[in-house]
Amino acid sequence: MLDQITTRIFADGADLDGILTLAENPRISGFTTNPTLMHKVGLTDYERFARDLLERVRTHPISFEVFADEPEEMRRQATRIASWGENVYVKIPVTSTKGESMAPLARELSEDGIKVNVTALFTTAQVELIAAAVAEGAPSYISVFAGRIADAGVDPMPIVARSLEIMRQAPDSELIWASPREILNLVQANEVGCHIITITHDLLKKLDGLGKSLEQFSLETVRMFHADALAAGFTL
């Protein structure tokens, strides 16, 4: 079933060894990371991590995020990050922490030739603003956080589908289905025609189960419960 999926998979994480291993995997087309993921694995030197990675992964697109909150400092960081490699996309949040739109900054950076990945979009209104901002600029990504939309009890599929329609005005921009929660999201992203999906390293381990017989899956689950009960030494 995986060979029928046309949505490209970007691995999402900050584990250097894991990224280098995944770079050899033909299923993986690119990489994304963010300050939260870096913090979770204990990274303290942002630039050193990025440069170490870029020395070894030269062809896959890799997104690194700014961590400033003011547009001027975001611009400075974005310019510096973009200078690290031709395969770098700079992640810009859709708004500041105060809710100020970063569409003007995305436009400026994109038209200056910097490849941006505008992140943390949740609504089609946000997609309209950002798609218009990057329409005349460098290749870009727009990341809609479909997994978190679903966490709010909202079906992300119509939002993703409408986003793709909106983005026709920005032919050099691709839509990312971000923050998936399960492998089903890959199937959904593919069904709606989403260009890319980001998948965490842990969730990638479940890819081999795609298309598995449900009867076989049921039997494996029963055997797991039985084996774990024996291993625990339970008695009644």
Residues of the chain above pLDDT 70, percent: 100
Does 232 fall in a domain?
no
Residue 216, domain member (yes or no): no
Task: Please report the pLDDT score of residue 234 as a whole number.
Answer: 95
Q: Considering only CA atoms, which of 132, 142, 44 is closest in space to residue 92?
A: 142
Task: State residue 73's pLDDT score.
Answer: 98
- DSSP-derived secondary structure for the chain: -GGG--SEEEEE---HHHHHHHTT-TTEEEEE--HHHHHHTT---HHHHHHHHHHH--SS-EEEE---SSHHHHHHHHHHHHTT-TTEEEEEESB-TT--B-HHHHHHHHHTT--EEEEEE-SHHHHHHHHHHHTTSS-EEEEE-HHHHHHTT--HHHHHHHHHHHGGG-TTEEEEE-S--STHHHHHHHHHT-SEEEEEHHHHTTGGGTT--HHHHHHHHHHHHHHHHHHHT---
Phi-psi region of 206 (alpha: psi -120 to 50; beta: other; left: phi over 0): alpha
- Whether residue 226 is contained in a domain is answered as no
Q: Which residues contact 170 (CB under 8 A, 6 or more apart)?
A: 131, 132, 134, 135, 140, 142
Looking at 91, 98, 115, 212, which residue is catalytic?
A: 91
> What is the Cα–Cα distance from 34 to 206, expressed in whole angstroms?
22
Domain hosting 123: range is 2-209
Is 40 among the residues known to form the active site? no
User: Could you tell me if residue 235 is inside a domain?
Assistant: no
Q: What pLDDT is attached to residue 3?
A: 80
Number of domains in the chain: 1
Short-list 99, 95, 97, 155, CA closest to 130: 95
User: Is residue 229 domain-resident?
Assistant: no
Q: Would you state the pLDDT for residue 111?
A: 98
| CA distances (Å), origin 214, targets 168, 182, 190, 210, 220 | 38, 16, 21, 10, 10
**Tens digits of residue pLDDT in 164-206:** 999 999 999 999 999 999 999 999 999 999 999 999 999 999 9
User: Over the stretch 138-162, which tens digit does the pLDDT of each residue have?
Assistant: 999 999 999 999 999 999 999 999 9
Residue 189: the pLDDT is 98
Amino acid identity of residue 34, one-letter, is N
Would the pLDDT of 26 be above 90? yes
Q: What is the pLDDT of residue 2?
A: 78
Whether residue 236 is contained in a domain is answered as: no
- Among 9, 11, 12, which residue's Cα sits nearest to residue 37? 12
Q: What is the pLDDT of residues 48-82, one digit of tens each?
A: 999 999 999 999 999 999 999 999 999 999 999 99
Task: Calculate what percentage of the chain has a pLDDT beyond 90.
Answer: 95
Whether residue 1 has pLDDT greater than 80: no
The CATH number that applies at residue 39 is: 3.20.20.70
Domain assignment of residue 220, yes or no: no
Whether residue 169 lies inside any domain: the answer is yes
pLDDT at residue number 53 = 96
Name the residue with tokens 């941006």. 116
Query: What pLDDT was estimated at residue 16?
Result: 92
